Amino acid sequence: MVLFTGRLSRAQRSRFRALGGLAIPELPPAAPPGTPWPRRLLAWCTAESSYRQLGYHLVVGPLLTLLGAAALLGCGAGVLLSTVIGWGWMMPRGTAVRGGGQTPSVLIFTLIGAALLFAAPWLLVRIARIDRRAARALLGPSRARELQQRVADLAESRAGVVDAADAERRRIERDLHDGAQQRLVSLAMNLGLARKTLKDVSPEAMQVIVDAHEEAQAAIAELRDLVRGLHPVVLEDRGLDAALSGIAARAPLPVRLDVRLERRMASTVEAVAYFVVSEALANVAKHAQASRVDLSVSQLGPTLRIVITDDGIGGADPTRGTGLVGLRKRAASVDGTLTISSPLGGPTVITVELPCELS
């Protein structure tokens, strides 16, 4: 039964693909290849897809075949009855129906035949549509499995988009660092050299050189911050621990950092963790009125856990536009979660858990 059901299903899928252009996806095997036949039989008997296939081959298919045969017979009967007047002229001379005798009966037969000719094609079309729907529902994956596959495809697609965006940020960072930033540094050095060595210029010209030198230095500082915001070099070169140490050192309030990581993770996860911590510390400095922050980063099996605790006033609400919605979305971009505990009066605890696929 297992063997014949699978072959019948493949034959029906080929029929629909060849005749109707309907591609019905193959069902996954009930048991992995190489499974002993007793377990394979047990898996087939307990699989929901097996009963759906049997329902099509033993119930739906035969029933639709009978209905189709009845429709074809009705079509043939319709042709015969609708032409009964013509058949009358073919009868031998002297018979009652010769030349269309018994006109009322002949008219009734003709009307019945015309009705059958109209109804039979309509019924055949409906049977074909029912057959397609039944085959799609019973010979292919169930609706739940299709949704699961769609979710998996969307998750994979989203992961690809996140990886591509992270790679693009790294490329832009390298281009800015190796291109525009180096040119600005060279310009600032030349202006600084001119500022120190040129002595025989007018005060107005020297002031222009001084202003240009200071503007170049300010542009370098802004570009450096922009590059760090795109993708910090230290994160790619030395990892998350060193990058978070830099964030803690630049924070406007004391940060006690505790990082316990066994090894490097995927670059996308490290980038998400870095920016979540950076944005969270910026939110604390802006809204929490805190005097210190405790930042704990640890790897618990397949999960990277980040806990950010401040002693501020509390009352953080993601609906008030404090940046917490953005943090949650950034964590969700890699299937991570972010939870917030912030009672009035504090403390506020932000817990982030990210799947830390190892690189």
Instruction: Express each pLDDT in 231-261 by its tens digit.
Output: 666 777 788 888 888 888 888 889 898 988 8
pLDDT value for 164:
66
Reported confidence tier of residue 266, pLDDT bands at 50, 70, 90: confident
**Using omega within 30 degrees of 0 as the cis cutoff, is the peptide bond preceding 347 cis?**
yes
Residue 5 CA: distances (Å) to CA of 39, 78, 216, 281, 348: 17, 37, 76, 61, 60
Reported confidence tier of residue 3, pLDDT bands at 50, 70, 90: low
Give yes or no for residue 66 having a pLDDT over 90: yes
CB atoms within 10 A of CB 218: 12
Question: Euclidean distance between the first and final Cα of the chain, in Å?
Answer: 47
Reported confidence tier of residue 163, pLDDT bands at 50, 70, 90: low
Token digits for 29? 């095997």
For the chain, how many helices (H) and strands (E)?
13, 5
Give yes or no for residue 94 having a pLDDT over 60: no
Beta bridge partners of 355: 303
Task: Give 147 or 265, the one with higher predicted confidence.
Answer: 265
Give yes or no for residue 274 having a pLDDT over 80: yes
Are 220 and 185 contacting, i.e. CB atoms less than 8 angstroms apart?
A: yes
pLDDT value for 322:
57
Reported confidence tier of residue 225, pLDDT bands at 50, 70, 90: low
Chain length of the chain: 359
Are 321 and 270 contacting, i.e. CB atoms less than 8 angstroms apart?
A: no
pLDDT value for 102:
54
CB atoms within 10 A of CB 59: 12
> Distance between CA 310 and CA 295 in Å, rounded?
9
Among candidate residues 219, 210, 218, 215, the one with its CA nearest the CA of residue 192: 210
Residue 17 CA: distances (Å) to CA of 12, 64, 68, 130, 347: 9, 18, 20, 16, 63
Among candidate residues 347, 349, 277, 257, the one with its CA nearest the CA of residue 311: 347
Which of 29-33, 158-162, 262-266 has the least mean pLDDT?
158-162
Contacts 24+ apart (CB under 8 A), 22-28: 22/132, 22/135, 22/136, 24/135, 24/136, 24/139, 24/140, 25/140, 25/141, 27/53, 27/139, 27/140, 27/141, 28/141
Q: Tokens 């002949």 label which residue?
A: 106
Reported confidence tier of residue 16, pLDDT bands at 50, 70, 90: confident
Give yes or no for residue 133 having a pLDDT over 80: yes
**Maximum Cα–Cα distance across the chain:** 138
